[in-house]
Chain A
Amino acid sequence: MERVPSPGASRFREASIAGTWLWLGLFALLPNLVLLLVAFLDRDTVGFFIPSLTLDNFRELFAPVFLGVLWDSIRLALCSTLVCLLAAYPFAYALAKAGPRLRPWLLLLVIIPFWTNSLIRTYALILMIGAQGLVNKCALGLGLIGAPLELMYTDFAVFAGMTYTFLPFMILPLYASIEKLDPGLADAAKDLGAGSLRTFWHSTLPLTLPGVVAGCILVFLPSLGSFYIPEILGGATNMLLGTFIKNQFLVAKNWPLGAASSSVLTLLLVLLAVLYRFTSQRAAGGYNAPLNARRDGE
């Protein structure tokens, strides 16, 4: 990146660089450093922590309790990501192939839920899948089932909630990458005698892989840290990472352990972010909607 130095620019330049560094330092570096420091301190029953250095908190992270929490959270996030991917791919594909006049409106219909308050959408889902929700009512009314299905407070409910909330994050990057596909490629593959499945596997999928990776990370990240979907829809029968950390601070008053487990979460996310950058740099393209994912990140 070549810059043309211009003397009059220098004051503004210095000021804006300094300002940017300042807010990054104050808003990101400082709080995270303080958090990391607390993770190395000792628990105190009277105050929140005492200033004596220890590694106990990190040791506790290797105890079965925390590993269980971590595993449950990762498993849930992975499954939600997979469900979203399977549901979103054909949808995004069909969307990208829709007529040019219809497409902006179809896309708009995906974006509207994306902008809607995620708590409210989680809540709306209860009205559907509750024992007296619409799904059960309709099925009972039609005589399809004899007793209400148990949908609420199950893993199904959590997956449904995660899918409902995060599906747009999967659809949008997938749509962007599928839309860029050259339809001629698929036709060429077909002309060469490839079946539609083979065309998909060897041509379409590899070309849309950046979108797939972006979408997966965008769904995985927020579902890993999510706390209210499992709490409201899942009945909190499994302790997840978000709830665990929150409890250490707001209930158990074990700040050092909470700080240590948040550091682990941050580390995990940083690793994923690096992975994302790595793949997206290879894919290039100025698509930035993925970064909007955090708006729902609870």
Chain B
Amino acid sequence: MGAWSKRLYIFLVYCFFYLPLLAMFLYSFNAAKYTTAWGGFSLKWYAALLRNNGLLDAALNSFLVAVCAASLATLLGGLAAVCLKRYSFPGRRALFIGILLLTVSPDIVMGISFLILFIACSVQLGFLTLLVAHTALCAPFVAVTVLARLEEFDEYLIEAARDLGASEAKALLHVLLPLSAPAVAAGWLLSFTLSMDDVLISTFVTGPSFEVLPVRIYSMVRLGVKPDVNALSAIMFALTLSLVLLAQVITQLRRK
């Protein structure tokens, strides 16, 4: 590959990634309704979003569930990783395989199996059911991420702490946790995005009293190209962008 054709190809792939997002951003300021023709600059779709209470509620609900589910999943997944790394016990391999399988289990199957379970137990669908399902969705990912990090460092650090008289829990908290903090944080962030991105499971396991953003966006997107979706998408993309950039800057700073 010549240097120029290489550069051109890289550039084209980035165009493929970013042009649609750029178009969405531009169209969110389009005054025209429905059509993709330019009808002048306007902020009215952003204003319309602000007035749409249902949407704001859904966004808040999503955020709440994502934060709770990510935290619970980090706790459970982190614990699982510690178990798998530090202890040997009967069924350890089965546990590991079970967690791995969970990471590839299709969302639709997860959503449906939870729905059947909840209906069988006559639980009312809402915040709690969604929290349980999303925690189940995310925890295996955290476990795998943290485990990969734990595999990398020295077992004897903990044993040293234990020899110095620290209890197991204390040793984990003061030695293992700080060392694996990047992986724990990555797991948490991953869980958060998973939860914010999930349409299928949420469709099945939440009720009208607790509507979430992805499901709302899905029905808006299905209705077709409308500027209020553009505005919403632009806001969400800007948030993601700033979060990713922030994370990048922090890691760069810490490296120095």
Contact = CB atoms under 8 A, between A and B. Distances in A.
| Contact, chains A and B (beta carbon distance below 8 A) | yes
A147 interface: no
A60 interface: no
A8 B168 contact: yes
B149 to A, nearest CB: 8
B217 A119 contact: yes
B106 A269 contact: yes
A91 interface: yes
A198 interface: no
B120 to A, nearest CB: 7
- The number of chain B residues touching the other chain, given as a range, is 35 or more
Contacts of A48: 119
B64 interface: no
Interface in A91-135: 91, 93-95, 97-98, 104, 106, 108-113, 115-128, 130, 132-134
B152 A127 contact: no
A112 B144 contact: no
Contacts of A116: 21, 236-237, 240
Interface in A250-285: 250, 255, 258-259, 262-263, 265-266, 269-270, 272-273, 277
A94 B218 contact: no
Contacts of A133: 23, 36
Interface of A: 1, 3-4, 6, 8-9, 12-13, 16-17, 19-21, 23-24, 27-32, 34-35, 38, 48, 87, 90-91, 93-95, 97-98, 104, 106, 108-113, 115-128, 130, 132-134, 137, 164, 167, 221, 224-225, 227-228, 231-232, 242, 245-246, 249-250, 255, 258-259, 262-263, 265-266, 269-270, 272-273, 277, 286, 288, 291-292, 294-298
In the A-B complex, the 9 residue pairs with the smallest Cβ-Cβ separation, listed nearest first, are A31-B113, A27-B136, A124-B20, A9-B168, A225-B106, A288-B148, A35-B113, A12-B168, A120-B233
7 contacts: A21-B91, A31-B136, A104-B252, A112-B241, A117-B240, A120-B237, A259-B112
Given A119-B221, A167-B17, 15 more contacts: A8-B162, A8-B167, A16-B79, A28-B101, A90-B1, A124-B233, A127-B24, A133-B23, A134-B23, A167-B16, A221-B104, A228-B221, A249-B115, A255-B116, A262-B112
